[in-house]
Structure 1
Amino acid sequence: MTERHPTPGKEEIALLEPFDRLGLDQIEVVSTPAQAAGALKALADATVLGFDTESKPTFAKNEASEGPHIVQLSALDKAWIFQLEDAECRRVVGLLLSSPAIIKAGFGLGDDQRRIIHKLGVDLQGVLDLNVVFRERGYRKDMGVRGAVAVMFNKRFLKSKKAATSNWANERLTEAQIIYAANDAYGALRVFKALGLG
């Protein structure tokens, strides 16, 4: 069966203008109980957030991932990156992810959900995998944020391969990691809005 709507390939996407991203001043890294309390207050009334996770890559054959190491949640003007070393950060993320009142929209979330259930022991509610929405609308199996941004905005979503495969378990995240992680969640939220889902 051929797809009803073709998605642009890497070469086509490379020619597009860059998609606007959140800057460092719009991203908060949450790693302490006080920061977690502030984030919960800021996010408690949200109805929809962009959502993603990152885990330290595993390279050895039988090495099991202990991820996710961070969880990203994004509004339209700000993103929060929760580092999951701190117990209170894990508790707050668990509250937000298990709230049925907040839609958490992202791409390819099956693995993320399994890891979160294992790590945080919470029942995720309100999670929407945008790949499913695109499939229902006749696009290829897995769109991903880069393909979706190209289709919805005719823009190129910048993604650093180096940041993607970096150590997300580090206590101090680099600026490149912070920008990468926050914008994965932010891009998902922008696509959710553009799809007319809320």
Structure 2
Amino acid sequence: MNAPLPTPDKDAIALLPPFERLDLDRITWVCTGEQARRAQAQLMQAPAWGFDTESKPTFKVGEQSDGPHVLQLSTPERAWVFQLHDLDCRAVAAALLAHPGIVKAGFGLGDDRKRIIHKLGIEPQGILELNTVFHERGYRKDMGVKGAVAVLFNQRFIKSKKAATSNWANARLSEAQLIYAANDAYAAVRVWQALALA
């Protein structure tokens, strides 16, 4: 049996040059049905999307999240960050996730899937857990977006802890939240693309 392939540790990743992220000019904030339908028309032209969700963090024991509050989908060119407050916007987001013909690639999607079923009432189709792909290729531990970007691109993916634990249920997202959410999905589609070409 082959030895598992090594994954870089935090110290090794810290020395790598930064992964080029999407800036606001390539991120679309989507919060109405009309905006969602425009996003849908563009997204449907891609064979795969990077995919992730964000939910307002819970801090009390036993407190249940009513997330996801945000859904992010990305192509290798741009990302769309859907806020799920508006019912029309939520309906389009649900239709996108239920569409079977497009790969939705991401990391650690088990919890996202459960929350989507509960909140949107649909079973997402075409979900690809990228950690599973790395396991199949000989990596033993869960890769996560940081490890995957380091292995495939020899670059460091920067995640803001402050944005990660911010209030995703806010009526209006901050620029930092938009950049954080969009780039999680963007990195995932770039990883999918690199794995598909490997």
**What is aligned with 1:56?**
56
The 1:68/1:3 distance shift into structure 2, 3 A limit, reads farther
The DSSP-based 3-state class of the residue aligned with 1:195 is: helix
CA RMSD for the aligned pairs? 1.5
Distance in structure 1 (CA, Å) of the matches to 2:2 and 2:58? 35
Distance in structure 2 (CA, Å) of the matches to 1:36 and 1:172? 16
Distance in structure 2 (CA, Å) of the matches to 1:47 and 1:130? 16
The DSSP-based 3-state class of the residue aligned with 2:182 is: helix
Q: How many residues align?
A: 198
TM-score by length of 1: 0.96
Distance in structure 2 (CA, Å) of the matches to 1:28 and 1:167? 19
AA at the equivalent of 2:43: L
Q: Which runs of 4+ in 1 moved over 4 A?
A: none
Distance in structure 2 (CA, Å) of the matches to 1:62 and 1:12? 37
Distance in structure 2 (CA, Å) of the matches to 1:3 and 1:95? 42
Judge conservation of contact 1:3–1:140 (CA < 8 Å) in 2: no
The 1:140/1:190 distance shift into structure 2, 3 A limit, reads same
Q: Structure 1 residue 47: deviation in Å?
A: 1.4
Judge conservation of contact 2:33–2:92 (CA < 8 Å) in 1: no
Segments of 5+ residues of structure 1 without an aligned counterpart are none
Distance in structure 2 (CA, Å) of the matches to 1:89 and 1:77? 22
**What is aligned with 1:93?**
93
Which has the larger displacement, 34-43 or 122-131?
34-43
The DSSP-based 3-state class of the residue aligned with 1:171 is: coil
Distance in structure 1 (CA, Å) of the matches to 2:61 and 2:116? 22
**What is aligned with 2:83?**
83
TM-score by length of 2: 0.96
- How many percent of aligned residue pairs carry the same amino acid? 64
**What is aligned with 1:131?**
131
Which has the larger displacement, 106-115 or 132-141?
132-141
Q: Structure 1 residue 171: deviation in Å?
A: 1.0
AA at the equivalent of 1:19: F
Q: Structure 1 residue 173: deviation in Å?
A: 0.8
Q: Structure 1 residue 3: deviation in Å?
A: 5.7
The 1:3/1:23 distance shift into structure 2, 3 A limit, reads farther
Write the mapping of 1:12-161 to structure 2, written as runs, cut at 5 A.
12-161=12-161
The DSSP-based 3-state class of the residue aligned with 2:152 is: helix
Q: Structure 1 residue 88: deviation in Å?
A: 1.0
Q: Structure 1 residue 45: deviation in Å?
A: 2.4
Judge conservation of contact 1:3–1:139 (CA < 8 Å) in 2: no
AA at the equivalent of 1:102: I
The DSSP-based 3-state class of the residue aligned with 2:66 is: coil
**What is aligned with 2:195?**
195
